[in-house]
């Protein structure tokens, strides 16, 4: 029987005329497991024959024309085990830090009465192109989906927030005080604290037109820094207003539609040479005289000096004075300073803008934000007064490392449960279940391991106590508990285990 089956099988493999799909290199032919049992080997070969030979008695039809199954033993290529460039993995130690950071984001948001929201990481590409200007197009991870729609991984959270506000319409009364923590993607040059993906904490106030909203937002960031041990000697906030820039441009009859491009250029003041800045401003359409006055205004670092140049009649000076007055009332006046060069790079800001920076100047901006009262109309809705900030996870972690403020976070499990005999594994599972039902964390030893291994495991996970399931104790309805801090031990009834 085995010989006949083998003969038939080999005949099929060698017959191109019978089935051309079988004329394949040997490396692509399906490989069958070879058994030491001739009877099993025969059945495998016979199955192969049956798969390829039609039966006149109504067996498998179309066997000769069906394609062969995919090869089982394919040679797999080695893949790069590193995450894509500019992205990160979060193994347990890194994940503990991320969780700790996010908990602080959430706790500060809670203290200020904000509610958490979230959005899809994939959005319409138009959401970012319309709102932020053309510059961001080069940084988008965008593509056409299978339905022919242009979509993008979100580079920031504010556009999604605006979409949600418009979606809600007038069904919910203003103001909204919302916060979000989400992953953002930008294909940009990587530097210290700048990656192609990062997580961002946003807090936004929708529906409050006054400067009190900006003052509240800056207060929340100051509160966050203080919680982490960072002081005003370590970090400060540069504050200005887009209206300062508007007043200068208006005096030189620069068209309103060029304002966004000027802001994007000015935002690069500390990043590229001043000659490049002047060249870009000329390309926008500014005269040399206008450029020189603009640069003079942007070098101002006191409100009194700015008032001498612009006068006191405009909104910019009045709003900035009010903000500094509120900062004094909130108790963070030593954290903020006026800096006319701060404009922020995104085109949608309309009023006060601010950036958090490290005073040693080693890092890029830690956080930033401002007022964006005209964002909703760019999406076809009615404008609503709004302001907010974005606070990334990467730069703050660099700062904490620089200051030696990164906490040592170790895993902490309340109990480790171990059966002293393999036959008692079910009993150990029962004990673990009872403790978990009472809200206690349990690491259950799933294999038969020596006690030396168990104690090392308990130390690694920082377990509070070790619960041993021994045969003699279990027969009496008892378990043995070892307190791993004091090394005291006792036997306790299962029903009394807490």
pLDDT tens string 145-160: 999 999 999 999 999 9
- Say how many CA atoms lie within 13 Å of 157 toward its Cβ: 26
Query: What mean pLDDT comes out for the span 99-105?
Result: 98
Burial 298-319, CB ≥16 within 10 A → b, else e:
bebeebeebbeebeeebebbeb
**CB of 350 closer than 8 Å to CB of 373:** yes
Nearest to 245 by CA among 227, 228, 267: 267
Q: Answer whether 0.85 is exceeded by the pTM.
A: no
Cα separation of 226 and 335, whole Å?
11
Nearest to 338 by CA among 366, 309, 312, 299: 299
Determine whether the annotation assigns residue 287 to a binding site. no
Determine whether the annotation assigns residue 349 to a binding site. yes
Lowest mean pLDDT among 183-187, 261-265, 485-489: 261-265
Residue 130, pLDDT score: 66
Cα separation of 48 and 9, whole Å?
7
* pLDDT at residue 1 is higher than 60: no
3-class DSSP state of 137 = helix
Dump the DSSP string for 281-326: HHHHT--HHHHHHHHHHHT---HHHHHHHH-S-SHHHHHHHHHHHH
Residue 96, pLDDT score: 96
Domain boundaries, the chain: 92-403, 413-496
CA dist 178 → 90, 109, 283, 416 (Å): 27, 8, 40, 40
First vs last C-alpha separation in the chain: 66
Determine whether the annotation assigns residue 200 to a binding site. yes
Q: Where are the alpha helices (DSSP H) in 228-299?
A: 242-251, 259-266, 274-284, 288-298
Cα separation of 372 and 383, whole Å?
9
**CB of 252 closer than 8 Å to CB of 286:** yes
**CB of 2 closer than 8 Å to CB of 42:** yes
* pLDDT at residue 404 is higher than 80: yes
Contacts of 312 (CB under 8 A, 6+ apart): 318
What is the per-residue pLDDT across 275-298, written as a single tens digit (0 to 9) for each? 888 888 888 878 888 888 888 888
CA dist 86 → 142, 177, 278, 468 (Å): 16, 32, 32, 46
* pLDDT at residue 32 is higher than 80: no
CATH superfamily assigned to domain 413-496: Anticodon-binding domain (3.40.50.800)
**CB of 481 closer than 8 Å to CB of 492:** yes
What is the per-residue pLDDT across 383-399, written as a single tens digit (0 to 9) for each? 999 999 999 999 999 99
CA dist 132 → 28, 260, 367, 375, 379 (Å): 53, 9, 18, 10, 12
Query: At residue 419, what are phi and psi to the nearest 5 degrees?
Result: -85, 135
Cα separation of 493 and 171, whole Å?
57
Determine whether the annotation assigns residue 157 to a binding site. yes
Determine whether the annotation assigns residue 186 to a binding site. yes
Output the six-digit token pair for 292.
């020189």
Cα separation of 305 and 307, whole Å?
5
Cα separation of 355 and 157, whole Å?
17
What is the per-residue pLDDT across 10-26, written as a single tens digit (0 to 9) for each? 444 444 443 444 334 43
Does the structural domain 92-403 have CATH classification 3.30.930.10? Answer: yes
| CA 208 from centre of chain | 29
- Asked whether the bond before 175 is cis by omega within 30 degrees of 0, the reply is yes
CA dist 201 → 132, 181, 195, 197, 216 (Å): 19, 4, 16, 13, 16
């Amino acid at each position: 029987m085995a010989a006949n089956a083998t003969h038939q099988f080999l005949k099929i493999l060698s017959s191109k005329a019978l089935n051309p799909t079988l004329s394949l290199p040997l490396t692509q032919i399906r490989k069958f497991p070879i058994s030491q049992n001739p009877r099993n080997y025969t059945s495998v070969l016979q199955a192969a024959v049956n798969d390829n030979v039609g039966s006149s008695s109504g067996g498998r039809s179309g066997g000769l024309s069906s394609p062969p199954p995919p090869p089982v033993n394919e040679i797999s290529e080695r893949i790069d085990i590193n995450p894509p460039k500019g992205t990160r993995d979060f193994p347990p130690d890194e994940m503990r830090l991320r969780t700790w950071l996010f908990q602080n984001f959430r706790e500060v948001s809670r203290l200020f009465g904000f509610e958490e929201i979230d959005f899809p990481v994939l959005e319409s590409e138009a959401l970012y192109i319309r709102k932020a200007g053309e510059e961001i197009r080069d940084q988008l991870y965008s593509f056409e989906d299978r339905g022919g729609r242009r979509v993008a991984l979100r580079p920031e959270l504010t556009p999604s927030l605006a979409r949600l506000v418009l979606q809600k319409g007038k069904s919910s009364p203003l103001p909204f005080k919302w916060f979000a923590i989400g992953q953002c993607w930008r294909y940009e040059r990587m530097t210290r604290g700048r990656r192609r993906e990062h997580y961002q904490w946003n807090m936004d106030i929708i529906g409050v037109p006054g400067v009190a909203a900006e003052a509240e937002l800056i207060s929340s960031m100051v509160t966050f820094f203080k919680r982490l041990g960072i002081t005003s000697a370590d970090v400060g906030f540069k504050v200005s207003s887009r209206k300062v820039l508007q007043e200068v441009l208006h005096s030189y009859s620069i068209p309103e539609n060029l304002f966004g491009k000027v802001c994007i250029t000015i935002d690069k003041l500390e990043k590229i040479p001043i000659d490049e800045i002047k060249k870009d401003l000329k390309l926008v359409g500014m005269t040399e005289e206008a450029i020189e006055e603009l640069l003079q205004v942007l070098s101002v670092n006191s409100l009194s000096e700015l008032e001498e140049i612009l006068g006191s009649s405009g909104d910019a000076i009045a709003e900035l004075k009010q903000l500094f007055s509120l900062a004094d009332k909130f108790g963070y006046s030593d954290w903020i300073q006026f800096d006319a060069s701060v404009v922020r790079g995104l085109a949608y800001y309309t009023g006060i803008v601010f950036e958090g920076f490290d005073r040693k100047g080693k890092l890029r901006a830690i956080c930033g934000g401002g007022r964006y009262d005209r964002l909703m109309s760019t999406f076809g809705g009615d404008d609503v007064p709004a302001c907010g900030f974005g606070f990334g996870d990467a730069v703050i972690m660099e700062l904490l490392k620089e200051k030696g403020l990164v906490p040592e976070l170790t895993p902490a499990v309340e109990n480790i449960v171990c059966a002293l005999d393999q036959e008692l594994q079910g009993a150990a599972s029962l004990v673990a279940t009872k403790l978990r039902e009472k809200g206690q964390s349990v690491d259950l030893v799933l294999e038969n391991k020596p006690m030396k291994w168990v104690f090392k495991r308990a130390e690694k996970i920082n377990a509070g106590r070790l619960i041993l399931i021994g045969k003699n104790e279990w027969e009496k309805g008892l378990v043995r508990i070892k307190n791993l801090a004091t090394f005291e031990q006792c036997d306790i009834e299962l029903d009394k285990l807490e």
